Structure 1
Amino acid sequence: MAVHIPSHLRERFDALERMPAASGLPAPWIGPIVIAVGGLTDVGYGDSSDLLICVSSNGRSVIDCLAGGKVARDDGNDFTFDAGNLLVGGLGPLADKQIRTAGLAGGGLPSATKDGWSVQRHPFAFPDEQVFVAPPGQAMLWTPRGEEMNLTKLGGFITEIRTFGFSPTGLSFVVATSSDVIIFSRT
């Protein structure tokens, strides 16, 4: 089945397709830091933080996305994951908290920051996985008149994307795949 792209968007989608995938995000973002999480299914940020909990077939871990490393880990499945409400019990610095998740069970991470950065998935790139990060004032399908398109295309993911998005603080951004978490941060 052929995808019908409306004529007013055809030129924009062609430009998106021609863009090369970048290895990182523009300033002020740093990274990526890639942390292996085999069998990853869902992730979620702690409230008002950059602490990311990862749920996998091998247990849970907490990653500090600003420091770029794991700060807690448990092995096994001795935890409660409520797929209906997208909640998982925390551990380490998120102990005694219920963390809202996104991934295979559904949900989503924030797609924009308070200062205007945004991220969107390319809807017609299947089976390739592509996300576009836009600076304030732009979007994947819109650039202000008279300005050049200033998007960053992230692609070439080895495994399936589970979810992607920003932390509640807007200081970190992740792409979670079935095998790893790719982290970008800023100060």
Structure 2
Amino acid sequence: MTFTAYQQERRDRFLSAPVVPAPDPWRPAAPLIPVGGLLGVGFAPDPVSGQDLLMVVSSSGHGLFDASTGERLARDYDPDPETSTPTGPGLSCPGIGPLAGTPVRIAGLFGGGLHTTTEDGWTVEVASPDWPHHRVLLSADGGLCRGPAGEKWWHIFHARWSELRAAGFSPSGRTLVVATSSDITLLTR
């Protein structure tokens, strides 16, 4: 494959950027949360009692987490087979726990997407300069990723051992999730 000079420069920049912790004001909400057989994730459409809630769909059921702490709030080990997989044009599953009766859009193996920007200018991007290994980039420059890594953009996650399912912000912009086939990483501010 032949790259243009711009493509080669961008590829080289992403390949050389080390994985670093997200910059202030971002911080880990919890240690890495293992979820075997993860299919997808989705945030509650609106914060509940001021909390960003994250629904996780896996091959062994559904879970609901407080995205700011990583605390599991609800678990359904045996969801209804008719609605347990995100399908249809909305790619949604019925919520559980405090989201019971609320459809939650799920992004992951079956498609869909999460918010990639926040109202105050943070952007998350997935790059694959050495496909199939994905890099998650967080930027404060509108997703341009210009200049040296660590100034206006940061390489915050490298999916080497698990398949990336989704990366994105909650509707409030206060939480960022990176979901792979085996775990979730939550950042909050």
TM-score bracket for this pair, using the shorter chain length? 0.7 to 0.9
Q: Does 1:31 align with 2:28?
A: yes
What's 1:182 paired with? 185
What's 2:136 paired with? 131
Matched AA of 2:25: P
Output the CA distance in 2 between the equivalents of 1:160 and 1:177: 5
Which secondary structure state, in structure 1, belongs to the residue aligned with residue 165 of structure 2? strand
State, as a whole percentage, how many aligned pairs show the same letter: 37
Cα 1:182/1:93, change in 2 over 3 Å: same
Aligned length: 180
Can you list the C-alpha shifts for 1:50-109, whole angstroms capped at 9, x where unaligned? 101011111100011112211111112335134123010001111110011100110100
Q: Does 1:164 align with 2:162?
A: no
1:14-93 maps to which residues of 2 (within 5 A)? 14-22=12-20, 24-31=21-28, 33=30, 34-49=32-47, 50-78=52-80, 80=83, 81-85=85-89, 86-93=91-98
For the 8 Å contact 2:70–2:186, the answer to whether it is kept is yes
Cα 1:54/1:125, change in 2 over 3 Å: same
Which secondary structure state, in structure 2, belongs to the residue aligned with residue 11 of structure 1? helix
For the 8 Å contact 2:114–2:168, the answer to whether it is kept is yes
2:5 maps to which of 1, 4, 7:
7
For the 8 Å contact 1:53–1:62, the answer to whether it is kept is yes
Structure 1 moving runs of 4+ over 6 Å: none
Cα 1:14/1:82, change in 2 over 3 Å: closer
For the 8 Å contact 2:118–2:169, the answer to whether it is kept is yes
Matched AA of 2:78: G
Normalised by the size of structure 2, how large is the TM-score?
A: 0.87
Over the aligned positions, Cα root-mean-square deviation in angstroms equals 2.1
Unpaired runs of at least 5, structure 2: none
1:151 maps to which of 150, 153, 159:
153
Unpaired runs of at least 5, structure 1: none
Output the CA distance in 1 between the equivalents of 2:154 and 2:178: 14
For the 8 Å contact 1:21–1:156, the answer to whether it is kept is no
Normalised by the size of structure 1, how large is the TM-score?
A: 0.87
Can you list the C-alpha shifts for 1:21-59, whole angstroms capped at 9, x where unaligned? 12x211000116311111110111101221010111111
Cα 1:82/1:160, change in 2 over 3 Å: closer
